[in-house]
Structure formats: structure tokens, C-alpha cells
Structure 1
């Protein structure tokens, strides 16, 4: 049990821990205490969330999520830059109902059990600090290295101030009786560690490591990777010898059947692979589609493969049917890792078959050594 940090204590704790931060206007008086008639505190832990969106500061501080969930939605906001924003000093709408069994474990700094509504509930907004970390939460959007480093320092700063252990740090998924999944997603890296999947267990371990050192401590960093040497660029210009039918409701790779130019020699006849890593490339894919009804859509996306295994899907581009043929130019800009190949996939969302009348891929490819 502890009184919430004052603005001066927030500043002191964050600076000591090496947290880069900025202060949003009005944060020292922002909160839901007066509106709810409830006073924030005593505090028992730090609850961690992801935003499930981009550029969320306005919603967190000023707009809220809905009339039923007005702002502020957290005490702090952590964008991908790694510079923390102080949003509110009072009660915030971030935690909702926390399962009593989970909440008691946070207070006791013991292993947090799966939240059980049957154990009773506690209003987490009364007793938990809340941070919203910018991430889509789709399992693919990556937390940056700077963002995660600040995230660890932030939780450690709270724990060090209150003389808590890392067990006082929890994720919303560990307390929610509504089945929340935040936070989650891949992390670019931390210290000497490369890319890894976020877990609260790992965050607590990193916070615990910080708390074992003075607040001024920083983790050892990975050595600078060797400089990549690029050769090229080589010119790639591929197309179709003739059009083909694209059936509805299934992804189908474009098989390039005509080699106009392939300086790298990576494109065998009738292959759907157009680039092989490690390499970088920039260029475009020009498409002409026949018989696509007006307003109907064909989706286009690049995909990365390791042998016959699909590894990564890239953002979708849409070709929309217009009177006559439908045309589109899809940009191609990418670094392709070693052992991976790149293909183009099309999805016909129209009810009937259409014709891929032309597909011309033009790119400059730099090979990595």
C-alpha cells in the first residue's frame, strides 16, 4: 500500500532511472477523481497495456474511448520514439475491473494466477498506475528498441520509488475479467538481446534486473553489426506471355512467364518467385485486369517464403473495378532476408472469374554480401 506519486516524485523517479519524458499540458491536475467522487490510491502496482492503435495520445488524454469510457485512459503514454508522455496524475480509466485473485497476487508480489471473476473483482482504476504503449496489438507490429528500454525503466522507476519488487508489475491480460489480451507483440530488441516476443514474464525479469543495479545503470548493448556490402543494382523486368484466369475467393501467386530482363538470373521460366534474399529492391508491379465488375476488388500483396513455407505477408493493395479494364501500379520496396524469396499474390473478391491480362514487374535489386 502506498500513496500515489506526486508530480515532483514522478519527475524525480523518472529522471533517476534515465527515462526520457515530456509533460503534457495540464497533466498534474488531470484525472477522474472529481468526476467519480473517488480518490486515486492507495496504489499497489503498475498495469501495462498496448494502445491497439496509432497516434493514440489524443484519445488517451482528451477524447477517451466512448461516452462510457471518458479520458484520461492512462497515466502515461509511450510512443515508438521511446519518449514517455506524462498524461494524468489522478484516477484514469485504464484498468477496469480486475479479478480479485490477480489483484491480491500483485499486492503480495507473488505469481499472478489466471484471472477468475468468481474470486470477486476490484476496480483497478482506484489502485493501479496505467501505461499505454503504442502498438497495434496484432502480433506483428513491433515495439521499438527505444520503446522497450523506456518501458523497462518506467516500471523500474515506479517500483524503486515505492520499494516494490518486479512482481508489482502486471499486464492487463493478467487482471482482466473481460479476456483482454494486452500487451503483446514482438520487440525489436533490448540490451544484447535481438528480436523477441513480448511477455510480462520477460518484462518483469528485465525490471528485476534493473532493480538489482543503481537507477543510473544501463544494460550492455549488442556490438555494432558488420556493415552490409551491397552489389548491384541489377535490373529485373518480368511479365506474362499471355493472360490467365483468376478464380474468386482464393489467393493465387502471379507466375511470371516471360523474361524481358533478369540480370540476377533468379527467375526460372514460369516461376512465381521474383527475388531471392539477402537483397534489397525497389520498383513497381503494373497490373491490367479484365472483366472486373465496377466497384469489385482484387487485393494485391507481396509475400515472403522460405522454401514452400509462407513466412510473412505484406500490406494489401486494392485494385477496384472501373468501366473497361482496371489498372493499378503497386510499389515494391523491401529488404529480403537470407534464405527467403518474394512472390506476388492476388485475391479476386468478385463473384466470378476475371482475367489477369497483364502483369509487368520492374525493379532494381541490390544483393547483400
Structure 2
């Protein structure tokens, strides 16, 4: 059982990993905690935004849109590798997912195929939305991929987790495809290398 780190510790972890971090408004108190608990946390989930343009992407992830209020993640990783902190606490990013996947993440074992959505992921995962159209054509700049790697490693270091604690949305919820354009296995290998 891992309680979420404080907002200040979260910011320090990202900064200590060498990331460029921008604090957006009242991110420390912008959350959906009134909809349910946040924690225990067990891992980090990566998404793509299906947007382009950093300013618009950060705004949408902070404010949400009709039918899905923000924040939609804790941090937005834009194409230049900047991490924009938009919320802290429960965020509308993971949604319901597979309890078998959650058990595998907790045990840091190989992920099973997802076949149901019966567990509240917003409670259990830190979430990063990454600016990309998600069409398989929009490029992932090296600065952005490195920032994803560093952000994941930063949180894993604090909790004492290893690379299997990093998953993509597509590995959590049936029917999801994000992130598209790189594989989560490749990202986990990058994170494992950084943790060494």
C-alpha cells in the first residue's frame, strides 16, 4: 500500500530527475477527490492526448471538456519535453480497468491481456497525458520521449517501484490504444535503464 506523495514531493521528484517543470495555476489543489478516494497508488499510466499545440493541450488537460471535467491527468508532457503540472489528487485519466492488470502492476509482473473494466484506475495511478495526435503518424520527438522516461523514473524512485509499474492506457482498459507511436515495452526498458 503506497499513499500518494505530497504535491511538493511530486514536484521535487520531477525536478530532481532533471525535468523542465511548469506549474499551472492552482495545480496542487485541483482534483476530483470529491468523487472518491485517491490512493493507494500502485503505478504510473501514460496516455496520448489526441491534440496538437501545447497551449491548447495543457488547457484541455487542466479544464477537461463537456462530459469529462478536469484535471485529466497530473502532468502534461508537451512535445518539447516540458512537464506541465495541471492537477494533483484524483484525476479523470485512467477510468475503469482490469483488476488482473492492477494485481500484475502491484506484483510488478508481466501484464495480462485486458478483458474487463471493473476497477477504478483513477484511484490507483499517477497519470501523464502526452501531447500527440495518436494517429500513429504524429512524431514523438526525442525530447518528449526522454521526458516521459524521466517522469516515470522520478516517481518510481520515490516509491521504490521498478519499470513494470509503468503502463499505458491501452494496457489498462479494453479498447484503448494510447499511447500510440511507441511501445510501452520500449518505454519500460528505457525507464529500467535510467533507474540503473
Give TM class, smaller chain.
Answer: over 0.9
**Corresponding position of 2:87:** 88
**Corresponding position of 2:51:** 53
- Contact 1:47–1:171 (CA<8 Å) still a contact in 2? yes
CA distance in 1, matches of 2:140, 2:5: 27
Q: State the Cα distance separating 1:184 from its structure 2 match.
A: 1.1
Q: State the Cα distance separating 1:30 from its structure 2 match.
A: 0.5
- Contact 1:101–1:116 (CA<8 Å) still a contact in 2? no
**Corresponding position of 1:121:** 118
> For 1:137, what is the secondary structure of its paired residue?
coil
- Contact 1:19–1:83 (CA<8 Å) still a contact in 2? yes
> For 1:136, what is the secondary structure of its paired residue?
coil
**Corresponding position of 1:2:** 2
CA distance in 2, matches of 1:110, 1:133: 25
- Describe how 1:189-338 pairs up with structure 2 within 5 A: 198-212=182-196
CA distance in 1, matches of 2:171, 2:11: 28
Runs of 4+ residues over 2 Å off in structure 1? none
Q: Residues 72 and 101 from structure 1, CA distance in 2 versus in 1: closer, same or farther, beyond 3 angstroms?
A: same
CA distance in 1, matches of 2:104, 2:115: 12
CA distance in 2, matches of 1:200, 1:112: 11
> For 1:170, what is the secondary structure of its paired residue?
strand
2:110 corresponds to 1:111: yes
**Corresponding position of 2:137:** 140
CA deviation map 1:289-311 (0-9, x unaligned): xxxxxxxxxxxxxxxxxxxxxxx
**Corresponding position of 1:42:** 40
CA distance in 1, matches of 2:194, 2:60: 31
Count of residue correspondences: 193
- Contact 1:160–1:211 (CA<8 Å) still a contact in 2? yes
TM-score by length of 2: 0.95
- Contact 1:48–1:132 (CA<8 Å) still a contact in 2? yes
Point out the structure with the larger helix share: 2
- Contact 1:32–1:90 (CA<8 Å) still a contact in 2? yes
**Corresponding position of 2:29:** 29
CA distance in 1, matches of 2:46, 2:123: 15
Q: Structure 1: where are the runs of 5+ without partners?
A: 186-197, 213-369
> Aligned-pair RMSD on alpha carbons?
1.0
CA distance in 2, matches of 1:174, 1:66: 26
2:16 corresponds to 1:16: yes
> For 2:178, what is the secondary structure of its paired residue?
coil
> For 1:93, what is the secondary structure of its paired residue?
coil
Q: State the Cα distance separating 1:151 from its structure 2 match.
A: 0.6
| Structure having the higher Rg | 1
CA distance in 2, matches of 1:167, 1:20: 25
